Amino acid sequence: MTPRGETSSAAAGTSLWRHQDFRRYLTGQAASVTGSSITQMALPVLAVLHLDATTAQVAWLAFLGQLPPAVLALHAGALADRHSKRRQMIAGDLVSATVLATVPVAAALGTLTLTQLMIVAVVQGAASVLHDAAAISLLPSLVDRSLIQRSNSRVGALFAIAATAGSHLGAALTALLGPARALLGDVASYLISAVCTARIQTSEPARARPETRRLRGEIAEGLWYVRGDDRLWTLTLVNATTSFGLGLLNTLWALYLFVPA
């Protein structure tokens, strides 16, 4: 039997790029981040230039897109603990791809409305929350415990590159194809993410299915756990503040660039 220390040392020396399931996970998530950046670029342009949205309507569109993460994040995390994380990720990707695909179709038919864009923003936001909550909790089951820090650093680095590349790609597609058809890039990214997730072969840890426990109780337990750990609580506050600031930025840039004073 190999001592635990030797196993950890061997795992620590293993290249993550040779880990097939990690590569599949990383490819799918990077594609999803790239596509989301395309939508963040194209959707406000579509609302303002093609639907003559006012300042208030653009603000509402951005607000509705940010609402599901604020309302459903805790529930999505609890669901990921109860059910298959990969299935939850794939379901979120397919819902997002489907609802986004309705936008270029409606634009081509001349039936696109601002109401439809707002519904799309809410549904896509909810599906993305379900996907992201499961994706975060799936990673530790794909790699050895000694590799988690390295894998997280690679995920963070690639996500930053993907977000930047997606913004540039979104601008290019918007200029070349128009904002409605540019969204097809995000539709493709969700399909890529779903395929990559479906190809992950590592078995998920056995899940406990407490029939008597309510979802609300599990959420409360998780909140108390985070509040009791100073490091987790600090990270939570930092991430919440950063997300709030980015939400404001994503709203205001569209207002200043496209809506007349």
Q: What is the pLDDT of residue 4?
A: 41
CB-CB neighbours of 70 under 10 Å: 15
Q: What residues does each domain of the chain span?
A: 19-202+214-258
**Domain spanning 19-202+214-258, CATH class:** mainly alpha
* Alpha-helical runs (H) found in the chain: 4-12, 20-45, 51, 55-82, 85-109, 114-142, 148-177, 179-182, 184-198, 215-228, 230-258
Q: What is the pLDDT of residue 8?
A: 40
The four Cα atoms 210, 215, 217, 220 give a dihedral, to 10 degrees, of 130
| CA-closest candidate to residue 46, choices 145, 184, 154 | 184
Q: What residues of the chain score a pLDDT lower than 50? A: 1-13, 211, 261
Note the pTM of the prediction, 2 decimals.
0.78
Q: What is the pLDDT of residue 157?
A: 87
Please count the CA atoms within 13 angstroms of the CA of 105 that sit on its side-chain side.
9
Give the chain's length. 261
The three-state (H, E, C) secondary structure of 52-105, written as one string = CCCHHHHHHHHHHHHHHHHHHHHHHHHHHHHCCHHHHHHHHHHHHHHHHHHHHH
Distances, alpha carbon 103 to alpha carbons 82, 182, 183, 253, in Å: 33, 10, 8, 22
Q: Which secondary structure element, helix H or strand E, spans residue 207, and what is its range? A: none
The four Cα atoms 33, 96, 139, 166 give a dihedral, to 10 degrees, of -10
Instruction: Enter the tokens of residue 151.
Output: 């894998």
Q: Which residues contact 128 (CB under 8 A, 6 or more apart)?
A: 36, 68, 69, 92, 96
Q: What is the pLDDT of residue 116?
A: 95
Q: What is the pLDDT of residue 53?
A: 84
| CA-closest candidate to residue 96, choices 72, 123, 76 | 123
Q: Are 197 and 21 in contact, with CB atoms under 8 Å apart? A: no
